[in-house]
Structure 1
Amino acid sequence: MNLSAKIELLIQAKKLSASQFADTLGIPRSSISHILSGRNKPSLDVVQKILIAFPEIPAEELLDDKRDLSITVSAPKVTSTPTSVTPSLFDAVIPSAPESPKNSLAEQTIVQSNLRRPRESSPKTVVPTVAPATTAHLAKKIERVLIFYTDGTFTESKPL
Protein backbone atom coordinates (compact mmCIF):
# COMPACT_ATOMS: atom_id res chain seq x y z
CA MET A 1 0.00 0.00 0.00
CA ASN A 2 1.49 3.34 -1.06
CA LEU A 3 1.73 6.43 1.15
CA SER A 4 -1.22 8.23 -0.49
CA ALA A 5 -3.47 5.22 0.12
CA LYS A 6 -2.31 5.07 3.75
CA ILE A 7 -3.14 8.77 4.21
CA GLU A 8 -6.61 8.16 2.75
CA LEU A 9 -7.06 5.20 5.11
CA LEU A 10 -5.93 7.34 8.04
CA ILE A 11 -8.46 10.06 7.15
CA GLN A 12 -11.24 7.48 6.97
CA ALA A 13 -10.21 5.78 10.22
CA LYS A 14 -10.14 9.08 12.10
CA LYS A 15 -13.54 9.99 10.59
CA LEU A 16 -12.25 13.29 9.24
CA SER A 17 -12.91 15.08 6.00
CA ALA A 18 -9.93 15.93 3.84
CA SER A 19 -10.35 19.59 4.86
CA GLN A 20 -10.38 18.73 8.56
CA PHE A 21 -7.31 16.56 8.10
CA ALA A 22 -5.45 19.40 6.34
CA ASP A 23 -6.49 21.84 9.08
CA THR A 24 -5.28 19.40 11.75
CA LEU A 25 -1.89 19.23 10.06
CA GLY A 26 -1.77 22.96 9.40
CA ILE A 27 -1.28 22.57 5.65
CA PRO A 28 -3.28 23.93 2.70
CA ARG A 29 -6.38 21.93 1.88
CA SER A 30 -5.32 21.77 -1.76
CA SER A 31 -2.21 19.81 -0.73
CA ILE A 32 -4.32 16.99 0.71
CA SER A 33 -6.62 17.10 -2.31
CA HIS A 34 -3.64 16.72 -4.65
CA ILE A 35 -2.21 13.86 -2.58
CA LEU A 36 -5.52 11.96 -2.48
CA SER A 37 -6.11 12.43 -6.22
CA GLY A 38 -2.61 11.11 -7.01
CA ARG A 39 -1.47 14.38 -8.59
CA ASN A 40 1.27 14.89 -6.00
CA LYS A 41 3.16 12.63 -3.64
CA PRO A 42 3.29 13.64 0.04
CA SER A 43 6.32 15.74 0.90
CA LEU A 44 8.60 15.08 3.85
CA ASP A 45 7.00 18.06 5.60
CA VAL A 46 3.52 16.51 5.26
CA VAL A 47 4.78 13.14 6.56
CA GLN A 48 6.42 14.82 9.56
CA LYS A 49 3.23 16.73 10.37
CA ILE A 50 1.20 13.50 10.16
CA LEU A 51 3.58 11.78 12.58
CA ILE A 52 3.39 14.73 14.99
CA ALA A 53 -0.40 15.03 14.82
CA PHE A 54 -0.93 11.27 15.15
CA PRO A 55 1.85 9.95 17.41
CA GLU A 56 0.17 6.54 17.67
CA ILE A 57 1.16 5.81 14.05
CA PRO A 58 4.64 4.29 13.75
CA ALA A 59 6.78 6.00 11.11
CA GLU A 60 7.88 2.61 9.74
CA GLU A 61 4.28 1.59 9.04
CA LEU A 62 3.49 4.89 7.38
CA LEU A 63 6.57 4.97 5.14
CA ASP A 64 7.11 1.28 4.23
CA ASP A 65 4.95 0.30 1.24
CA LYS A 66 5.18 -3.38 2.21
CA ARG A 67 3.66 -2.82 5.66
CA ASP A 68 0.00 -2.23 6.41
CA LEU A 69 -1.08 0.65 8.56
CA SER A 70 -2.50 -0.33 11.95
CA ILE A 71 -4.73 2.50 13.12
CA THR A 72 -6.55 2.96 16.39
CA VAL A 73 -9.51 5.30 16.21
CA SER A 74 -9.04 8.29 18.50
CA ALA A 75 -9.46 12.04 18.35
CA PRO A 76 -6.73 13.81 16.40
CA LYS A 77 -4.16 15.81 18.29
CA VAL A 78 -4.40 19.43 17.24
CA THR A 79 -1.01 21.06 17.05
CA SER A 80 -0.18 24.68 16.53
CA THR A 81 2.20 25.18 13.66
CA PRO A 82 3.90 28.35 12.51
CA THR A 83 2.28 28.04 9.07
CA SER A 84 -1.11 29.62 8.75
CA VAL A 85 -4.02 28.56 6.63
CA THR A 86 -5.79 31.44 4.97
CA PRO A 87 -9.53 30.90 5.15
CA SER A 88 -11.57 31.37 2.02
CA LEU A 89 -14.54 33.68 1.80
CA PHE A 90 -16.80 30.70 2.36
CA ASP A 91 -15.19 29.37 5.54
CA ALA A 92 -16.91 29.95 8.85
CA VAL A 93 -15.37 32.56 11.12
CA ILE A 94 -13.57 30.74 13.93
CA PRO A 95 -12.84 33.00 16.87
CA SER A 96 -9.24 32.96 18.00
CA ALA A 97 -7.21 34.78 20.61
CA PRO A 98 -6.88 38.42 19.61
CA GLU A 99 -3.42 39.65 18.72
CA SER A 100 -4.11 43.06 20.16
CA PRO A 101 -7.05 44.82 21.81
CA LYS A 102 -7.74 46.45 18.46
CA ASN A 103 -8.44 43.01 16.93
CA SER A 104 -10.70 41.73 19.69
CA LEU A 105 -13.89 41.99 17.58
CA ALA A 106 -14.86 39.33 15.09
CA GLU A 107 -14.31 40.37 11.48
CA GLN A 108 -18.03 40.29 10.73
CA THR A 109 -18.72 42.71 13.60
CA ILE A 110 -16.05 45.10 12.34
CA VAL A 111 -17.47 45.04 8.82
CA GLN A 112 -21.01 45.60 10.05
CA SER A 113 -19.95 48.49 12.29
CA ASN A 114 -18.13 50.10 9.35
CA LEU A 115 -21.25 49.80 7.25
CA ARG A 116 -23.27 51.63 9.91
CA ARG A 117 -20.63 54.35 10.39
CA PRO A 118 -21.87 57.83 9.49
CA ARG A 119 -20.50 59.35 6.31
CA GLU A 120 -18.83 62.21 8.21
CA SER A 121 -15.54 60.32 8.32
CA SER A 122 -15.34 60.12 4.53
CA PRO A 123 -14.27 63.11 2.45
CA LYS A 124 -17.10 65.42 1.45
CA THR A 125 -18.04 65.40 -2.20
CA VAL A 126 -19.61 68.40 -3.79
CA VAL A 127 -22.56 67.41 -5.92
CA PRO A 128 -23.68 70.10 -8.32
CA THR A 129 -27.37 70.76 -8.63
CA VAL A 130 -28.16 69.20 -11.97
CA ALA A 131 -30.69 66.76 -13.32
CA PRO A 132 -30.96 63.44 -11.35
CA ALA A 133 -29.73 61.40 -14.34
CA THR A 134 -26.42 63.28 -14.27
CA THR A 135 -25.84 62.90 -10.49
CA ALA A 136 -25.96 59.09 -10.82
CA HIS A 137 -22.69 59.28 -12.77
CA LEU A 138 -20.97 61.06 -9.87
CA ALA A 139 -21.50 58.07 -7.52
CA LYS A 140 -18.66 55.69 -6.71
CA LYS A 141 -17.88 53.20 -9.44
CA ILE A 142 -15.93 49.99 -9.44
CA GLU A 143 -12.51 50.56 -10.93
CA ARG A 144 -11.30 46.95 -10.98
CA VAL A 145 -11.83 43.59 -9.28
CA LEU A 146 -8.94 41.29 -8.33
CA ILE A 147 -9.46 37.58 -7.62
CA PHE A 148 -6.59 35.76 -5.91
CA TYR A 149 -6.25 31.98 -6.19
CA THR A 150 -4.59 29.57 -3.76
CA ASP A 151 -1.84 28.74 -6.28
CA GLY A 152 -0.59 32.34 -6.12
CA THR A 153 -2.13 33.50 -9.40
CA PHE A 154 -4.76 36.16 -9.82
CA THR A 155 -7.14 37.60 -12.39
CA GLU A 156 -8.09 41.21 -12.85
CA SER A 157 -11.37 42.45 -14.27
CA LYS A 158 -12.23 46.00 -15.26
CA PRO A 159 -15.69 47.27 -16.19
CA LEU A 160 -16.26 48.06 -19.83
Structure 2
Amino acid sequence: MSHNHQPPWGQPPTGPNPYSPPAMPPSRPGWTRKRILIPAAALLFFIGIAIGAADDPARTETAAAAKAAPAATVTATTTATASATPEPAVTETVTADPEPAPTVTKTKTVRVTVAPATGGGSDNSDDSGTSGGGGATYYANCTAVRAAGADPIRAGEPGYGRHLDRDGDGVGCE
Protein backbone atom coordinates (compact mmCIF):
# COMPACT_ATOMS: atom_id res chain seq x y z
CA MET A 1 0.00 0.00 0.00
CA SER A 2 1.17 3.31 -0.97
CA HIS A 3 0.66 6.36 1.12
CA ASN A 4 1.11 8.77 -1.74
CA HIS A 5 -2.36 9.62 -2.61
CA GLN A 6 -3.50 13.06 -3.69
CA PRO A 7 -6.09 15.07 -1.74
CA PRO A 8 -9.33 15.80 -3.62
CA TRP A 9 -8.64 19.59 -3.80
CA GLY A 10 -5.40 19.24 -5.61
CA GLN A 11 -1.69 19.37 -5.08
CA PRO A 12 -0.41 21.90 -2.48
CA PRO A 13 1.34 24.89 -4.05
CA THR A 14 5.06 24.97 -4.10
CA GLY A 15 7.03 28.15 -3.52
CA PRO A 16 6.77 30.88 -0.87
CA ASN A 17 4.17 30.55 1.83
CA PRO A 18 1.03 32.53 0.75
CA TYR A 19 0.08 33.10 4.40
CA SER A 20 3.22 34.96 5.39
CA PRO A 21 3.40 38.78 5.15
CA PRO A 22 5.17 40.19 2.10
CA ALA A 23 8.80 41.06 2.44
CA MET A 24 9.59 44.72 3.24
CA PRO A 25 11.14 46.64 0.34
CA PRO A 26 14.63 47.83 1.06
CA SER A 27 14.46 51.32 2.61
CA ARG A 28 16.74 54.21 1.90
CA PRO A 29 19.15 55.27 4.54
CA GLY A 30 18.17 58.35 6.59
CA TRP A 31 20.91 60.57 5.16
CA THR A 32 19.42 60.42 1.64
CA ARG A 33 16.15 61.88 2.89
CA LYS A 34 18.02 64.74 4.56
CA ARG A 35 19.92 65.42 1.35
CA ILE A 36 16.64 66.23 -0.44
CA LEU A 37 14.37 67.66 2.24
CA ILE A 38 16.70 70.22 3.86
CA PRO A 39 17.67 71.99 0.60
CA ALA A 40 14.01 71.97 -0.54
CA ALA A 41 12.90 73.55 2.75
CA ALA A 42 15.62 76.20 2.49
CA LEU A 43 14.57 76.99 -1.09
CA LEU A 44 10.91 77.42 -0.02
CA PHE A 45 12.02 79.67 2.84
CA PHE A 46 13.92 82.02 0.52
CA ILE A 47 11.04 82.09 -1.98
CA GLY A 48 8.71 83.13 0.84
CA ILE A 49 11.06 85.95 1.86
CA ALA A 50 11.22 87.17 -1.76
CA ILE A 51 7.41 87.20 -2.05
CA GLY A 52 7.06 89.02 1.27
CA ALA A 53 9.58 91.66 0.24
CA ALA A 54 7.68 92.29 -2.99
CA ASP A 55 4.60 93.33 -0.98
CA ASP A 56 6.47 95.97 1.06
CA PRO A 57 4.43 99.22 0.63
CA ALA A 58 7.46 101.50 1.05
CA ARG A 59 9.27 99.76 -1.80
CA THR A 60 6.10 99.80 -3.92
CA GLU A 61 5.71 103.58 -3.52
CA THR A 62 9.38 104.18 -4.30
CA ALA A 63 9.19 101.99 -7.41
CA ALA A 64 6.01 103.74 -8.57
CA ALA A 65 7.65 107.14 -8.11
CA ALA A 66 10.71 106.03 -10.06
CA LYS A 67 8.55 104.76 -12.94
CA ALA A 68 6.45 107.96 -13.15
CA ALA A 69 7.03 110.18 -16.15
CA PRO A 70 8.94 113.37 -15.49
CA ALA A 71 6.61 116.30 -14.82
CA ALA A 72 6.93 119.65 -16.53
CA THR A 73 7.94 122.49 -14.23
CA VAL A 74 6.12 125.77 -14.70
CA THR A 75 7.44 128.91 -13.06
CA ALA A 76 5.05 131.82 -12.67
CA THR A 77 6.32 135.26 -11.89
CA THR A 78 4.00 137.82 -10.36
CA THR A 79 4.69 141.45 -9.81
CA ALA A 80 3.02 143.06 -6.84
CA THR A 81 1.96 146.68 -7.13
CA ALA A 82 1.47 148.73 -4.04
CA SER A 83 -1.96 150.27 -3.64
CA ALA A 84 -2.79 153.14 -1.39
CA THR A 85 -5.81 151.60 0.32
CA PRO A 86 -6.09 148.01 1.34
CA GLU A 87 -9.12 146.19 0.00
CA PRO A 88 -11.66 145.02 2.58
CA ALA A 89 -11.80 141.33 3.34
CA VAL A 90 -14.99 139.56 2.38
CA THR A 91 -16.65 137.78 5.29
CA GLU A 92 -19.55 135.46 4.67
CA THR A 93 -21.62 134.15 7.58
CA VAL A 94 -23.58 130.99 7.05
CA THR A 95 -26.23 130.07 9.59
CA ALA A 96 -27.46 126.52 9.59
CA ASP A 97 -30.86 125.78 11.04
CA PRO A 98 -30.99 122.29 12.49
CA GLU A 99 -33.76 120.03 11.35
CA PRO A 100 -36.43 119.73 14.03
CA ALA A 101 -36.47 116.41 15.76
CA PRO A 102 -39.53 114.31 15.03
CA THR A 103 -42.11 114.31 17.78
CA VAL A 104 -43.04 110.89 19.07
CA THR A 105 -46.44 110.56 20.64
CA LYS A 106 -47.33 107.42 22.53
CA THR A 107 -50.99 106.70 22.94
CA LYS A 108 -52.32 104.35 25.56
CA THR A 109 -55.91 103.25 25.35
CA VAL A 110 -57.62 102.47 28.63
CA ARG A 111 -61.05 100.89 28.72
CA VAL A 112 -63.19 101.51 31.75
CA THR A 113 -66.19 99.31 32.23
CA VAL A 114 -68.98 100.59 34.43
CA ALA A 115 -71.96 98.45 35.25
CA PRO A 116 -75.23 100.02 34.12
CA ALA A 117 -77.49 101.33 36.81
CA THR A 118 -80.31 98.93 37.52
CA GLY A 119 -83.77 100.36 38.01
CA GLY A 120 -85.18 98.53 40.99
CA GLY A 121 -83.40 95.31 41.47
CA SER A 122 -84.31 93.83 44.80
CA ASP A 123 -82.17 90.73 44.55
CA ASN A 124 -79.15 92.65 45.96
CA SER A 125 -76.66 91.39 43.35
CA ASP A 126 -74.54 93.16 40.72
CA ASP A 127 -74.07 92.16 37.06
CA SER A 128 -71.15 89.86 37.80
CA GLY A 129 -73.46 87.43 39.57
CA THR A 130 -71.89 87.96 42.96
CA SER A 131 -74.12 88.74 45.86
CA GLY A 132 -73.19 91.70 47.88
CA GLY A 133 -73.67 95.40 48.26
CA GLY A 134 -76.01 96.10 45.38
CA GLY A 135 -76.66 99.53 43.95
CA ALA A 136 -74.98 101.11 40.94
CA THR A 137 -71.46 101.16 42.42
CA TYR A 138 -68.94 98.73 40.97
CA TYR A 139 -65.21 98.48 41.65
CA ALA A 140 -63.04 96.46 39.28
CA ASN A 141 -60.26 95.96 41.84
CA CYS A 142 -58.99 97.14 45.21
CA THR A 143 -57.04 99.99 43.62
CA ALA A 144 -60.33 101.49 42.46
CA VAL A 145 -61.81 101.00 45.95
CA ARG A 146 -58.84 102.79 47.56
CA ALA A 147 -59.00 105.58 44.98
CA ALA A 148 -62.64 106.13 45.90
CA GLY A 149 -61.72 106.12 49.61
CA ALA A 150 -64.08 103.23 50.34
CA ASP A 151 -61.63 100.72 51.76
CA PRO A 152 -62.16 98.41 53.55
CA ILE A 153 -65.46 97.57 51.91
CA ARG A 154 -67.81 95.21 53.74
CA ALA A 155 -70.51 92.84 52.52
CA GLY A 156 -73.76 94.73 52.09
CA GLU A 157 -72.12 98.05 51.24
CA PRO A 158 -72.52 99.45 47.71
CA GLY A 159 -69.74 98.16 45.41
CA TYR A 160 -68.83 95.09 47.47
CA GLY A 161 -68.03 92.01 45.39
CA ARG A 162 -66.54 88.60 46.16
CA HIS A 163 -63.66 89.37 43.74
CA LEU A 164 -62.56 92.07 46.22
CA ASP A 165 -62.63 89.71 49.22
CA ARG A 166 -59.69 87.26 49.07
CA ASP A 167 -60.26 85.33 52.26
CA GLY A 168 -64.06 85.35 52.07
CA ASP A 169 -64.64 86.87 55.53
CA GLY A 170 -67.02 89.57 54.25
CA VAL A 171 -64.48 92.41 54.30
CA GLY A 172 -62.88 93.31 50.96
CA CYS A 173 -59.66 95.22 50.24
CA GLU A 174 -58.37 94.95 53.79
Return the TM-score normalized by structure 1. 0.15
Structure having greater relative contact order (Cα 8 Å, sep ≥ 6): 1
Return the TM-score normalized by structure 2. 0.14
Q: Between Structure 1 and Structure 2, which shows a larger proportion of helix residues?
A: 1
Question: Larger Cα Rg: Structure 1 or Structure 2?
Answer: 2
